[in-house]
Every structure is written in C-alpha cells, then in structure tokens.
C-alpha cells in the first residue's frame, strides 16, 4: 500500500456521536414537560432545534468540521431508525400525530403497550426493540436526518447523517407478538435494503457527502448467516450508483471475523474501536493487510469511560496505523453518548481528580489534538502533550489512586476466603435453629415506598438545611413505620426499607474510599432517564460501617429477624465508571473486601440474615463468548469474598432483577447463597424449573408478583404462582416474596399486595 494521507477534511477528526441531554438537562426537561402537557409540541421542537444547534456549535468550536448528525434523538436511535424505515408496529399505527406515535412506541399509552426495551450491547444504555413479522414492509421517511443535515448546513457544517445499519437493525429486532418465535427478522434484509438504497439516493441528491452506518453487531460473535447478510448489504449499498460516501462504523470491541468483509466492502470508510479490548483491532487489521483505498476512522479516544486519554500513547498507536489505510481520521471509539457531558461543571471535585477526567466535551479536545499531532507533527503539540503527561503522572502518583494497605490485603486473599466454611445443608440446619421460621417464609426485597417527603428530607440534609440529628430522626421514624407495617402484615423476615438510600450504588459509593461521585455527570440510561454513575478512581476501602446503624436500629424495634441489605461488588462495578489502570477483577476484589467488612460488622451487630443484591451480574457479561468464563470467574469470586466470612448460622441472600439466567445459571449456583430471590411472576415461575433442573441446592424466592405495575395481585393468583413453583422447589426451600424492591410503588398498593402475599403463603403452609 502507498502512503497514508490526511486530506479528507481540514482536520482529520470526528466523533461517532454526542450526548443529547442538552446543557442543564434541557432536552430531558423539555421532553418530560411535553409528556406532562406543560410544553407544546411546537415548543418542544424549538428546544430540540436549539439544543441541536448547541451541539453543532460545540463540535465546531472544538475544531471539528467533520461532524455527525441525526444521532441526536428525542428518545432512542434504534427507534429513530425504525421510524426512518417505516417499521411502526401495527398497534401503534392507529395513534395519531407523529410525536404521539413516536412516544407511544417508546412508552406506551393507556391503550397500547410500548416496544420492549433492552440493553444496548454491554453498555448501560437501553434501546427499544423493533418488532417485525414475516410480512413486514418498509417505507422511507428521511425527514429527521434531512432536517438535521440541513440545520448543520445552515451553520456551515457538512454533517454526516448517522443511521443504525440494516444488519444491526434486523439483528436487534425480534418477532412481533403473535408471530412464530423462530421467525428470524434477518430474513427481511431483501425487503429492507431498498429503503436504505433510497435513503442514500436521496441523501446524494441533497448534497450529503458522507453517511455513517452503525454496525456494532460486528463486534459480537455472529453466526455465518449474519456475516453473509452483512456482505450482501454492503455489496448492495456500496455498488449503488450516485450515493454519498459510506462509513461503516463498528464499536464496542474487536471486529475479528468481519474484518475481511470490511476490508473488501465497496465503501469509502470503516470505523474501528481501538481502545480497551478494541485495541486488538490494530493487530487484526495488520494481519488482513489493512484497508486499502479506504478511510480508517480510528477510535483512539475511549467513548465508554471517563478517563483522560494518554495522548502520547495514542499518538504512537496512530503512527502504527500508517500504511494500513489510505487516510486516517481520529475519532472517539463510539458515540460519546455513554459519557457525561462536561467535566468542567464538576466544581466540587478536587481539582487534580477533575484533571484526570475527560467527559464528552473534553474528549472532543483530545480528538482534535491528536488529529493535529498526526497532521502537523507531534512537535506542534508539545506543550499539550507535556501537560497531559503531567496529569497522568499526577494520577499515577496520587495517594488517591493507591492505598498500600488495600493492595496488600487484596494480594493475600486465598481461595478459601471466598468459600463458606460448610456446605448448604449444614448451614441450613444451623440457620433453621437460629431463625425458627415457618414453612414458606415471607419477605420483601428491601426498599419500601420512597415518598416525595423522604426524598426531600434527604435532599435537605445534603444541602445542610436539615441537621444530622434531625435527619436521623426522620429516617428512624420511617424505619419504625416500615417495621410496624411489616409486623402488622405478618411478614417473617423484615427489612428496614432503605429510606436513607438515593440509589443502591451511589449510597455505597459515597461512603467508600476510592469512589467519587459527580453532580452533573448524567448519562442516558433510556429515554429521559439519566443516571450519574460514580467513578472508581482509586483503591477501595471502607472507612466506617455504612449500613449497620440503620439495620441495628430496625432490629431493635422487633423480635422478628431484620435482613441487612447491601449492594454486591459486581453491581457496584457495572454501574460505575471503573478505573482503567488495573484489571476490573482487581477492582472487584477490593470492593468485595470492603463489603466483606460491612457483612462482618452486620453479623457482629446481631444481624442473622444479610442480602447482597447483584442485579447486574448478567449485564456484566462480555460481548465475546471467549471472554465470559474469565468474567464469571472473577465476578462470582468477588461475590463470595463478600459473603463467605460469616458463621454457618448467618443466612446469606442475594437478589437478581431478572428470571432468565441462561448461560450464567452455573455461576449463579456458584455464588453459594443460602437464598436467592429474583423476578419470576412475568415468566410464570419458569426460573424455578431452571434452577431445579440445574441441581440448585438452596433456598429460592421466585417473585410472586410484578412490582413494576400498580396492579394488586390477588391471593388466589399468588397461590397459583406458588403451586407452580412447588412443582420444582421443595416446600422446605421455597420463599415467598415480590419480584423486586417496592420503592416505586405507593403504600396502599404495597399494603394490599403484601397482605395477599402473606395470606397466600399461610394458606399453603
Ligand atoms: N434491595 C434493593 C431494593 O429493594 C434491590 C434493588 C434491585 O434489585 N435493583 O430496592
Ligand atoms: Zn430487583
């Protein structure tokens, strides 16, 4: 191959997408105000246009001239693609008004159910799942990308419309309700491609020069049929006459078996993730002879994490790409949608810690700087490189990142530390003596309704408007209320209700050494729902007990056992940004040791039942099957390290928010808990059969009613659920509980539902 040039744009720099929350969460607020009927469609549109303009201007101000468009969304980019190709499900077509129909698909209405929502690859973003049927047809509606392209053009930018590619779109779709579940939406490729062809033709007529087709499914293991479909699709789209240039974008890891297809595709550009596990793409790329004749959009700035890049190292990486493509453009590894907007807003963070971070806005600067470095030469950015090296050095040397005592302790962990002293049958006998519970014991998952008044009290305390003693008194009153409620209802194992917790991860992150939390670090979870993941910046330890005062207080009010309640190490990691300077396994072990201390303190304070929630265990599964065993091995070890230091007569529970364990079933059993609870009502208790089929030995509480709905389940209905469960789980090991925590429900619903739950359990004893 000949030499690589950087001639594509004035500065060879771009990003694959940008956050759409808007400054001060303007978009979120506007959309929610529209839903409440407080903002007109016209004013929502005006906000949208203004916020989009702000993004374009931000990108340009950072020095980018090659910018994405149409990645900005009112809800979700997969839903936008569904609208683009006209795949609106039958049941939503009757909804009048484009916006109403759009939000009906996203959120449902009184009459129609929304589309299902699921996780976007291994991120914490959730997309809406398209529903297709064998006779689905497609029609193009290019209005959204066209509007955004035109808006960018009025600002003097030649933007690149971003669409979810046809193969990823079909791969993420599922058979519509009522359709044969074995129907494979990929069989619709021939139907769908003409719509993409038409889109490209119309884009060309509009003067669009580049279109980005996102095909992240290529970073996952795919059956040959999917790779064939991809080859067909790029061949068709690539050989279309008179079309814009095409950028095939992959992200979230190494592409591997699809790389030859990308190399040979009749398109002009390919984007590859070159960060984290995606760094392996560099070697793979060299092995297939690079991308002759193409532009490589090199994802060297991590779009998934919050750390400032090592610019010198990434420049070196860019240099190794020389000769592997005709042209190199520096980019983020994926859309910046997965990181918060701007770290400069975090004025509460210690300035040096803040300097270690790069959020979306800062990543733009990194991309631009690297682009300058490769075009004008590293000597033109010497000062910036030196400053960056100093930041990295400061981070490496900071006492915040490294605590020798934590490292020493983690290094001394032995396999035995992560195993309970005796097996389940022995433990169960000791626990039965101590707890003296009836058959089919009843319990809940932890939280009780979080009222507005409670949230206000927590907020006032944070702002210093409520003194610590007043705050404690307020929370204690709530704990007492919840304890009395449970006693009256006749529950067997009580909880304190979690009134003091804003969020199951943040609550602990705020108390653990090694974590920092942000004020404005919002990241989209789905739609207008944003979360603020904490960041693990250093070695993790627990300066003081975190939950003991609440659990002990609750226990002091009652003779019934009160369950201690912790968030597990894997969930702490999955719902935080993790440090990039050590393997996650090591971080998980540190978190586990900190939680292990909490478990020990709870036990010492007399807590006989301790629940460690791991709703994120399944989410953490790597995209590539070959990486899963390693993950499951450290993840289960971290859980067991948290829970195994207790006596035989202390009962360990865990909770998961789903019922399909699938390939993590063996790992779940390997957690070696005394009791596990999970969601089960919506899947008719099928989990009970799965667990018993796999030889699960211990206690199980398949949720008997769905807490996501305000509906109060009847006693008979719960009895029926329990009967199904009893077909697979012996009565001596079956627990009776709801699907998940009750914090989103109101107290009246909770009272009636739990009364029926207790009555159902009693009638079967
Ligand atoms: N203990 C937590 C609660 O009840 C569990 C939450 C969860 O499962 N996500 O709220
Ligand atoms: Zn749950």
Which ligand lies nearest to the CA atom of residue 575 in the structure?
1
Tell me: pLDDT of 309 over 90: yes
Size (the chain), residues: 765
Cβ neighbours of 291 (radius 10 Å): 26
Q: Which residues pair with 730 in a beta bridge?
A: none
Give the residue-averaged pLDDT of 98-103. 97
Tell me: pLDDT of 3 over 70: no
Ligand 1 atom with least separation from CA of 743: 10
The reply, when asked if residue 131 is annotated as ligand binding, is: no
Tell me: pLDDT of 4 over 80: no
**Per-residue confidence (pLDDT) for residue 11, from 0 to 100:** 87
Tell me: pLDDT of 7 over 70: no
What is the chain's mean pLDDT, rounded? 96
747-764 and 715-726 helices cross at what angle (nearest 10)? 50
Domain positions in the chain are 23-399, 424-451+478-764
Determine contact, residues 250/258, Cβ cutoff 8 Å.
Answer: yes
Which residue has the CA at smallest separation from atom 1 of ligand 1? 446
Instruction: Reduce the DSSP state of residue 699 to 3 states and report it.
Output: strand
Q: How far is the CA of 171 from the centre of ligand 2 (A)?
A: 28
Q: How far apart are CA 80 and CA 130, in angstroms?
A: 10
Give the residue-averaged pLDDT of 526-539. 97
**Per-residue confidence (pLDDT) for residue 65, from 0 to 100:** 85
Tell me: pLDDT of 5 over 60: no
Q: How far apart are CA 414 and CA 565, in angstroms?
A: 26
pLDDT digits (tens, 9 = 90+) for 258-299: 999 999 999 999 999 999 999 999 999 999 999 999 999 999
Q: What percent of the chain has pLDDT over 70?
A: 99
Tell me: pLDDT of 6 over 60: no
Which residue has the CA at smallest separation from atom 5 of ligand 1? 741
Strand segments, DSSP code E, in 375-491 are none
Q: How far apart are CA 526 and CA 80, in angstroms?
A: 13
How would you class 654 by CB atoms within 10 Å of its CB: exposed for 0-12, middle for 13-18, buried for 19 or more? buried
Q: How far is the CA of 740 from the centre of ligand 1 (A)?
A: 6
Give the residue-averaged pLDDT of 83-107. 97
Determine contact, residues 546/511, Cβ cutoff 8 Å.
Answer: yes
Q: How far apart are CA 579 and CA 356, in angstroms?
A: 11
Tell me: pLDDT of 626 over 90: yes
The reply, when asked if residue 718 is annotated as ligand binding, is: no
Strand 513-516, strand 325-332: pairing: unpaired
| 543 — pLDDT class (breaks 50, 70, 90) | very high
Phi and psi at residue 186, to the nearest 5°: -60, -20
DSSP, res 70: S
Q: How far apart are CA 299 and CA 118, in angstroms?
A: 25
Angle, vertex CA 166, rays to CA 28 and CA 217, nearest 5: 80
Strand 269-273, strand 563-567: pairing: unpaired
Tell me: pLDDT of 576 over 70: yes
Q: How far is the CA of 241 from the centre of ligand 1 (A)?
A: 55
Determine contact, residues 570/635, Cβ cutoff 8 Å.
Answer: yes
Give the residue-averaged pLDDT of 428-453. 97
Q: Which residues of 163-184 are buried (b: 16+ CB within 10 A; e: fewer)?
A: bbbbbbbbbbbbbbeebeeeeb
Instruction: Reduce the DSSP state of residue 288 to 3 states and report it.
Output: coil
User: Tokens standing for 695?
Assistant: 């030889």
Give the residue-averaged pLDDT of 638-652. 98
Give the residue-averaged pLDDT of 181-195. 98
Ligand 1 atom with least separation from CA of 567: 1
- Helices marked H in 239-276: 259-264
Q: How far is the CA of 87 from the centre of ligand 2 (A)?
A: 32
Residue 662 vs residues 558, 690, 693, 727: alpha-carbon distances, Å = 39, 9, 12, 20
Q: Which of 360, 342, 358, 354 is nearest to 17 (CA)?
A: 360
How would you class 107 by CB atoms within 10 Å of its CB: exposed for 0-12, middle for 13-18, buried for 19 or more? middle
Ligand 1 near 616 CB (within 6 A): no
Q: How far is the CA of 704 from the centre of ligand 1 (A)?
A: 16
Q: How far apart are CA 371 and CA 384, in angstroms?
A: 13
Q: How far apart are CA 334 and CA 298, in angstroms?
A: 10
Active site residue 338: no
Tell me: pLDDT of 678 over 70: yes
Which ligand lies nearest to the CA atom of residue 653 in the structure?
1
Angle, vertex CA 713, rays to CA 445 and CA 502, nearest 5: 30
Ligand 1 near 445 CB (within 6 A): yes
User: Tokens standing for 455?
Assistant: 């949230």
| 10 — pLDDT class (breaks 50, 70, 90) | confident
pLDDT digits (tens, 9 = 90+) for 39-67: 999 999 999 999 999 999 999 999 998 99
Which ligand lies nearest to the CA atom of residue 610 in the structure?
1
Residue 212 vs residues 71, 604, 630: alpha-carbon distances, Å = 10, 58, 34
- Based on C-alpha coordinates, what's the Rg of the chain? 27
Which residue has the CA at smallest separation from atom 3 of ligand 1? 741
Give the residue-averaged pLDDT of 332-336. 98
Q: Which of 126, 322, 684, 708 is catalytic?
A: 708
Q: H/E element holding 325? A: strand 325-332
Ligand 1 atom with least separation from CA of 611: 1
Q: How far apart are CA 672 and CA 692, in angstroms?
A: 15
Q: Which of 446, 431, 436 is nearest to 646 (CA)?
A: 431
Residue 2 exposure: Cα atoms within 13 Å on the Cβ side = 6
Instruction: Evaluate whether ipTM surpasses 0.85.
Output: yes
Ligand 1 atom with least separation from CA of 565: 1
Ligand 1 atom with least separation from CA of 501: 10
Q: Which of 84, 202, 211, 203 is nearest to 160 (CA)?
A: 211
Same fold flag, 23-399 and 424-451+478-764: yes
Report the CATH architecture of 424-451+478-764: Alpha-Beta Barrel (3.20)
The reply, when asked if residue 751 is annotated as ligand binding, is: no
Q: Which of 281, 215, 288 is nearest to 247 (CA)?
A: 215
Residue 217 exposure: Cα atoms within 13 Å on the Cβ side = 22
pTM listed for this prediction = 0.96
The reply, when asked if residue 653 is annotated as ligand binding, is: no
CATH number of 23-399: 3.20.20.210
pLDDT digits (tens, 9 = 90+) for 734-765: 999 999 999 999 999 999 999 999 999 999 99
Strand 675-678, strand 699-702: pairing: parallel
| 8 — pLDDT class (breaks 50, 70, 90) | very low
Q: How far is the CA of 627 from the centre of ligand 2 (A)?
A: 26
| 671 — pLDDT class (breaks 50, 70, 90) | very high
Ligand 1 near 164 CB (within 6 A): no
Give the residue-averaged pLDDT of 181-198. 98
DSSP collapsed to 3 states, 127-138: EECCEECCCCCC
């Amino acid at each position: 191959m000949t030499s690589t040039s950087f001639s594509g744009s004035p500065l060879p720099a771009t990003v694959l997408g940008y956050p759409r929350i808007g400054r001060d969460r303007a978009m979120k607020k506007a959309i929610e105000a529209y839903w409440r009927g407080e903002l007109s469609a016209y004013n929502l549109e005006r906000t949208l246009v203004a916020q989009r303009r702000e993004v374009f201007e931000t990108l340009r101000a950072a020095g980018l001239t090659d910018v994405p468009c149409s990645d900005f969304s009112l809800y979700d980019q997969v839903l936008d693609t569904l609208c683009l190709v006209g795949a609106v499900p039958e049941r939503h077509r009757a909804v009048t008004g484009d916006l109403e129909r759009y939000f009906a698909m996203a959120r449902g209405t009184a009459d129609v159910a929304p589309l299902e929502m699921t996780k976007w690859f291994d991120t914490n973003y959730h997309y809406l799942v398209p529903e297709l049927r064998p006779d689905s047809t497609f029609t193009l509606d290019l209005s959204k990308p066209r509007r955004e392209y035109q808006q960018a053009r009025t600002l003097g930018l030649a933007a690149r419309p971003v669409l979810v590619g046809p193969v990823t779109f079909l791969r993420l779709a599922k058979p519509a309700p009522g359709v044969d579940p074995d129907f494979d939406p990929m069989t619709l490729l021939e139907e769908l491609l003409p719509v993409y062809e038409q889109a490209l033709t119309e884009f060309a007529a509009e003067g669009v020069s580049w279109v980005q087709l996102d095909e992240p499914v290529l970073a996952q293991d795919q059956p040959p049929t999917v790779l064939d479909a991809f080859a067909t699709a790029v061949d068709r789209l690539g050989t279309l006459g008179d079309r814009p240039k095409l950028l095939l974008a992959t992200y979230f890891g190494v592409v591997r078996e699809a790389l030859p297809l990308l190399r040979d595709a009749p398109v002009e550009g390919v984007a590859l993730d070159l960060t984290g596990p995606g760094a392996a793409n560099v070697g793979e790329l060299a092995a297939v002879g690079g991308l002759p004749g193409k532009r490589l959009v090199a994802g060297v700035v991590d779009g998934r994490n919050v750390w400032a890049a090592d610019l010198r190292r990434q420049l070196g990486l860019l240099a190794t790409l020389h000769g592997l493509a005709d042209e190199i453009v520096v980019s983020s590894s994926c859309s910046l949608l997965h990181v918060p907007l701007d770290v400069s807003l975090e004025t509460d963070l210690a300035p040096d810690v803040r300097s270690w971070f790069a959020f979306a806005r800062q990543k733009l600067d990194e991309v631009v700087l690297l682009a300058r470095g490769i075009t004008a030469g590293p000597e033109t950015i010497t000062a910036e490189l030196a400053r960056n090296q100093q930041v990295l050095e400061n981070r490496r040397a900071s006492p915040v990142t490294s605590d020798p005592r934590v490292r020493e302790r983690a290094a001394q962990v032995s396999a035995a530390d992560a195993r309970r002293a005796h097996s389940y049958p022995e433990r169960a006998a000791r626990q039965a003596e101590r707890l003296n519970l009836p058959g089919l014991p009843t319990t809940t998952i932890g939280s009780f309704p979080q009222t507005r008044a409670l949230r206000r009290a927590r907020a006032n305390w944070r702002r210093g408007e409520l003194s610590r003693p007043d705050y404690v008194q307020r929370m204690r009153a709530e704990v007492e209320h919840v304890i009395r409620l449970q006693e009256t209802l006749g529950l067997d194992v009580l909880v304190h209700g979690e009134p003091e917790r804003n969020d199951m991860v943040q609550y602990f992150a705020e108390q653990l050494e090694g974590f920092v939390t942000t004020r404005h670090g919002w990241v989209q979870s789905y739609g207008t729902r944003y979360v603020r993941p904490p960041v693990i910046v250093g070695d993790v330890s627990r300066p003081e007990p975190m939950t003991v005062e609440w659990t002990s207080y609750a226990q002091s009010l009652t003779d019934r056992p009160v369950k201690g309640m912790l968030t597990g190490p894997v969930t702490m990691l999955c719902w935080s940004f993790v440090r990039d300077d050590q393997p996650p396994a090591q971080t998980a072990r540190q978190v586990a040791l900190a939680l292990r201390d909490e478990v020990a303190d709870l036990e010492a304070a007399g807590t006989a039942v301790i629940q460690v929630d791991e709703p994120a265990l399944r989410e953490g599964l790597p995209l590539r099957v070959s990486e899963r065993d390693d993950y499951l091995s450290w993840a289960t070890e971290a859980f067991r390290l948290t829970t195994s230091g207790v006596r035989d007569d202390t009962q360990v529970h865990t909770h998961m928010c789903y019922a399909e364990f699938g390939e993590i079933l063996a790992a779940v059993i390997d957690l070696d808990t005394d009791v596990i609870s999970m969601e089960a009502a919506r899947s008719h208790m099928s989990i009970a059969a799965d667990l018993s089929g796999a030889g699960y030995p211990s206690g199980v509480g398949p949720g008997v009613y769905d807490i996501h709905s305000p509906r109060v389940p009847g006693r008979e209905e719960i009895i029926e659920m329990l009967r199904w469960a009893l077909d697979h789980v012996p009565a001596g090991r079956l627990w009776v509980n709801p699907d998940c925590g009750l914090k989103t429900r109101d107290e009246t619903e909770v009272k009636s539902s739990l009364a029926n739950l207790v009555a159902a359990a009693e009638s079967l004893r």
